[in-house]
Amino acid sequence: MKLKNKITAITLCSAFALSGLAGCTVFSSNSETTATETTTAAAQTTAATESTSSSASAVSSHEWLEASKMEVAENAANELNEGNAQYLAGTASMNVSSALRNELTNGQKPHTVVITCSDSRVPPELIFNADLGELFTIRTAGNVVGEYEVGSVEYAVDHLGSQLVVVMGHSSCGAVGAAVEGHAEGNIESIVHEITPSVEEAKKSETDEKAIASKAEDLNVENTLAKLRESSIIKELEDSGKIKLVGAKYDIETGEVSYLGE
Ligand SMILES: [Zn+2]
């Protein structure tokens, strides 16, 4: 949906995320979805969630990006929360129309930068139900960043006006898995090398290989955030309150995005 329409939807349904969608009226870019339809979708989501205990526990630990507490990027955070809720409810309908495409020839103003894994199961535009022009995405295996990636973030926050930067790892990440195994060939070695410190740190508190990998996925997000903050451009914009950096994790089984605590 277009940003304007999404903000309207948020206004009409401020408790959208917290209420589990029920009772909300949401306007899509092309048509109006009735409260009944939305409630039905929510019920289906609930039923699907209850069908597996692992999903239920993931839902209970799910954390929305706390837009109401953010001084900057509040609208961007609301966009992501709402978009992921619609993705989960099966009501996603991103605007990829020719009209919007033409409108964007005048320039782009993506509200959020998403740095995530290249994994084919982790497409940010789908996960956040984002339209053309809404997300500035940077993807590498294991969501690691080097000069090109950090430079891309600098461009987005300094020239395009993006206010929110989300570093999003994910469950069952193959790049992190390779780092846990400690084996990689070719140029993959450089990716594994970047993730290995997170694996070593995870091993200090975890013993089971699966738990080590999961913890390393979280720590790897923090490592990427730290790398971004080594950029004076990004650091100064964050320190002056003009942008917000957050860590997140996508669950490839439930489809949910959770946000990591600072
Ligand atoms: Zn991955």
pLDDT attached to residue 12: 34
Distance 122 CA to ligand 1 centre (A): 8
Whole-number Å distance, alpha carbon 213 to ligand 1 midpoint, is: 11
pTM for this entry: 0.78
Rounded CA separation 176/180 (Å): 6
Domain that holds residue 187: 3-259
Q: Which two three-digit tokens encode residue 125? A: 């535009």
- Give per-residue pLDDT as tens, 157-201: 999 999 999 999 999 999 999 999 998 999 999 999 999 999 999
- Read off the CATH number of the domain in which 189 is found: 3.40.1050.10
Phi and psi (nearest 5°) for 100?
Answer: -70, -40
Ligand 1: distance of its center to the CA of 136 in Å? 18
Query: Lowest-confidence range among 4-8, 42-46, 55-59, 130-134?
Result: 55-59
Those residues whose beta carbon sits under 5 angstroms from the ion ligand 1 are 117, 119, 173, 175
Average pLDDT in the chain: 82
The secondary structure of 233-262 as a DSSP string is HHHHHHHTTS-EEEEEEE-TTT--EEE---
Name the nearest CA neighbour of 231 among 151, 116, 138, 161.
151
Q: What's the 190 CA to ligand 1 centre distance in angstroms?
A: 15
Residue whose token pair is 């600072």:
262
As a whole number, mean pLDDT of residues 214-229 equals 98
The pLDDT, as a whole number, for residue 155 is 98
Specify the number of domains making up the chain: 1
- Which pLDDT belongs to residue 67? 87
Compute, in angstroms, the gap from residue 118 CA to the centroid of ligand 1: 6
Distance 94 CA to ligand 1 centre (A): 24
Range among 57-61, 68-72, 200-204 rated most confident: 200-204
**Which tens digit of pLDDT belongs to each residue from 82-97?**
999 999 999 999 999 9
Is the pLDDT at 118 greater than 70? The verdict is: yes
82: CA distance to ligand 1 center in Å?
Answer: 24
